[in-house]
A = this chain, B = another copy of it.
Amino acid sequence: MTDRQTEFDDLAARLRRLEDDRDIRQLIASYGPAVDAGDPDAAAGLWATDGIYDVDGWRMEGRADIRAMVSSEAHQNLVAKGCCHFLGPCVVTVTGDEAVAVCESLVVVRDGDGYRVWRATAHHFALRRVDDQWQITTRTSRVLNGNPDAHTLLTKGLAGSL
């Protein structure tokens, strides 16, 4: 019976790991729709209460800062014009209640009859399970313009390191 219990527990742990993986992917996939809808609360709720969003040197700390960014005239003008923050599939590394994820994104903005690609960016996410819910503790984003910091983010993300 002990072997049976061990087998069962192993299965349960692997299942939990897959759920974590799915939950983290869904969390990150929610960012684009949230900011393209111009919804400050939906975007801010993806971060831990004291979470950080460091984007090319602009450092937002806590949900109020994220909310303010989405509510800003600059962002709401983008939404009114038509924009799409398009994040790709992530590589996710889960270690207990912590995780690292990495992906790239394109941001396109309405321009005449079509859209122009405004930015292509590397993203590194540090995440934590808080009250059984995954949240972003630190998101670091650097534009892919030759900046070696962007390459470092990608390499660290693939290695699953912070």
The answer, yes or no, to whether A59 is at the interface (CB within 8 Å) is: no
Chain B residues with CB below 8 A from A36, complex form: 104, 122, 144, 150-151, 154
How many residues on chain A are close to B (CB under 8 Å)? Answer: 62
Copies in the complex: 3
Question: Would you call A146 and B79 a contact (CB within 8 A)?
Answer: yes
Question: Would you call A89 and B25 a contact (CB within 8 A)?
Answer: yes
Q: Which of the segments A6-14, A49-57, A61-69, A129-137 contacts the partner chain?
A: A6-14
- Contacts A29-B88, A33-B155, A37-B152 known; 8 new A-B pairs at CB < 8 A: A15-B18, A21-B22, A33-B91, A83-B144, A84-B120, A86-B104, A106-B115, A110-B144
